[in-house]
Amino acid sequence: MIIKQVMPAIRDTWGSRLAIIMAVAGSAIGLGNFLRFPVKAVANGGGAFMIPYFVSFLLLGLPLMWIEWTMGRYGGGFEHGTAPGIFHSLLRKNRFVKYFGVIGIFGPLVIFIYYTYIESWTLAYSVFALMGKYAGLADQASMQAFLRGFQGLEHNAHFSSMGWAYVFFLVTFFLNISVIYHGIRGGIERLCKVALPLLFACAIILLVRVLMLGTPSENFPERNIINGLGFMWNPDFSALKSAKVWLEAAGQIFFTLSVGIGVILTYASYLSRTDDVVLSGLTAAGTNELAEVILGGSIIIPAAFVFFGQGEMQAVASSGTFNLGFVTMPLVLNQLPWAGFFGFVWFLLLFLAGVTSSVSLAQPSIAFLEDEFDIDRKKAIVIFGSVAFLLCQPAVFLLGRGVLDELDFWGGTFFLVVFATIEVILFAWVFGMDKAWDEIHHGADLTLPKFYKWIIKYVTPLFLFFILGAWLWQEWGGIILMKKVTPECRPYIIATRLGLLAIFIVLCALVKIAWRRKRLHAEAKP
């Protein structure tokens, strides 16, 4: 057998320390910061929710952030940018550990195939806001009909097909691909340098506008912005006795920081061995919290309260994050002067939050092809783009059949917690806590307090086991047996599960092929 002699390509690097902080923060700041967080806070004790939220941040979010930054940088030193190679670098003697790392490519790929479609809705709505396409709609039912018509779930006076949705999906998909095509420094870094400040500017414009709402209707003096903030922040300390509230807070911290996906591993693999990870990880996490708690927590809920009042707000808050973003918020903004402009700013904010996250989701698959198969970036992007485009189609066309929710459960929820648990066990227990502690502090600009050694080794894994156990206990049976799925949707859900299993098996096979290829290559060397 002739083994092709391949020169490994020089790996891309970040242009500056701020660049990777912005890229990781951009990956973490997503739609959830502005839509999911305020809903969770209102439903789980208001201001009191911040107590379990901050505890989870310190015991779960930050340790996982540092673990992923450190593991990524360590693996990058061996020219591995994705979890299979990074896990293999940590435990070279074990042949199977690399297969656990497949989740770190599978998860982001699965999220990418539905997240890009949702992101395209925000782009479409920002254009619709400028065009005044939904300007005349004044109630929840008509705005709902507009959304359902756009998504192709029904034909109505607003949309006769899902043509517009598909056009915006194509634009968003190819925008993502073109950013990734330009590489780490020329694509992702440049995007984040522009998009993140712009995102904060949009959020601040909306925050100032919301805080200036005062009391819009004299007929309802209690519907004022102070009470709106109170609706979000007034504490219900009795909620702290509920395990569910602690679980929700831990879940929110987990998802908001983009840990357990595999993206941070890949981004950190482009660091050099002497680059700091402690201060950089803390800065990225802090920037995400700024966007979530200060900006995300002060825009949508107070604004909706001022226009709908306390009675309707309970229904609005429990109507789900999509309704809040695509139905309630446009209705609120429609009642303001310059409605088109503020609607545009709101959806541009969501689009920027989405695009900085989606490009990060594509990177692990591309890094895997580049690092483990020595494929050059452009070819890797063509392969990834073609496969991802095909995989996106069920999420686009079978939205009403529950495919998107199913993908979100496996790719965006379940496997994240599983992967984070594997990471922390591997890092703190298998690699060894003493070595891990030294590795974290290599080149560090901050020294972590000693008790974090104990937290990373014991508290974070226990916290993750608790979350995983509680989910399995509460939801596993219902989800596996599809108890909430209607009979006509079941075949689609089963097909989605089989499809996901096939993707996972193919990725495992690719890992096997890549390592065999490397072994043969090493043996062929004189």
Q: How is residue 146 written in tokens?
A: 């507009």
Q: How would you label 272-309 residue by residue, b for 16+ Cβ within 10 Å and e otherwise?
A: eeebbbbebbbbbbebbbbbbbebbbbbbbbbbbbbbb
User: In residues, how long is the chain?
Assistant: 526
The Cα–Cα gap between 180 and 508 comes to 24
Measured from the CB atom, the residue of 278 and 455 that comes closer to another protein is 278
Q: How is residue 99 written in tokens?
A: 């297969």
CB atoms within 10 A of CB 513: 12
Measured from the CB atom, the residue of 5 and 274 that comes closer to another protein is 274
The Cα–Cα gap between 10 and 314 comes to 55
Q: Is 523 exposed, middle or buried (0-12, 13-18, 19+ CB in 10 A)?
A: exposed
Q: How is residue 384 written in tokens?
A: 């990834």
Measured from the CB atom, the residue of 41 and 391 that comes closer to another protein is 41
Residue 86 beta carbon to another protein: minimum distance, rounded to whole angstroms: 25
175 sits in which H/E element: helix 163-181
The Cα–Cα gap between 60 and 460 comes to 5
Residue 51 beta carbon to another protein: minimum distance, rounded to whole angstroms: 8
* Cβ-contact 65, 357 below 8 angstroms: no
Measured from the CB atom, the residue of 233 and 246 that comes closer to another protein is 233
The Cα–Cα gap between 344 and 125 comes to 7
Residue 234 beta carbon to another protein: minimum distance, rounded to whole angstroms: 4
**Which single residue is written with the structure tokens 């660049």?**
19
Residue 292 beta carbon to another protein: minimum distance, rounded to whole angstroms: 9
Query: CA of 451: how far to CAs of 69, 280, 438, 455, 458, in Å?
Result: 19, 20, 14, 6, 11
Residue 472 beta carbon to another protein: minimum distance, rounded to whole angstroms: 31
Q: For binding to another protein (CB under 8 A), which residues are involved? A: 17-18, 21, 46-48, 50, 54, 226-227, 229-230, 232-235, 279, 282-283, 286-287, 289-290, 293-294, 445-446
Residue 481 beta carbon to another protein: minimum distance, rounded to whole angstroms: 40
Residue 48 beta carbon to another protein: minimum distance, rounded to whole angstroms: 7
Query: CA of 64: how far to CAs of 36, 96, 126, 262, 397, in Å?
Result: 21, 23, 35, 11, 36
* Cβ-contact 23, 270 below 8 angstroms: no
The Cα–Cα gap between 466 and 461 comes to 8
Measured from the CB atom, the residue of 51 and 91 that comes closer to another protein is 51
Residue 50 beta carbon to another protein: minimum distance, rounded to whole angstroms: 5
CB atoms within 10 A of CB 447: 10
Measured from the CB atom, the residue of 273 and 512 that comes closer to another protein is 273
Residue 390 beta carbon to another protein: minimum distance, rounded to whole angstroms: 41
Radius of gyration over every alpha carbon of the chain, rounded to an integer in angstroms: 23
Residue 233 beta carbon to another protein: minimum distance, rounded to whole angstroms: 4
DSSP, collapsed to helix, strand or coil, labels residue 80 as coil
Residue 231 beta carbon to another protein: minimum distance, rounded to whole angstroms: 8
DSSP symbols for 369-408? HHHHH---HHHHHHHHHHHHHHHHHHHHHTGGGTHHHHHH
The Cα–Cα gap between 467 and 250 comes to 8
Residue 446 beta carbon to another protein: minimum distance, rounded to whole angstroms: 7
> Is the Cα torsion angle 509, 514, 515, 521 positive or negative in sign?
positive
Measured from the CB atom, the residue of 47 and 432 that comes closer to another protein is 47
The Cα–Cα gap between 28 and 263 comes to 10
Measured from the CB atom, the residue of 33 and 363 that comes closer to another protein is 33
Residue 290 beta carbon to another protein: minimum distance, rounded to whole angstroms: 5
Measured from the CB atom, the residue of 77 and 286 that comes closer to another protein is 286
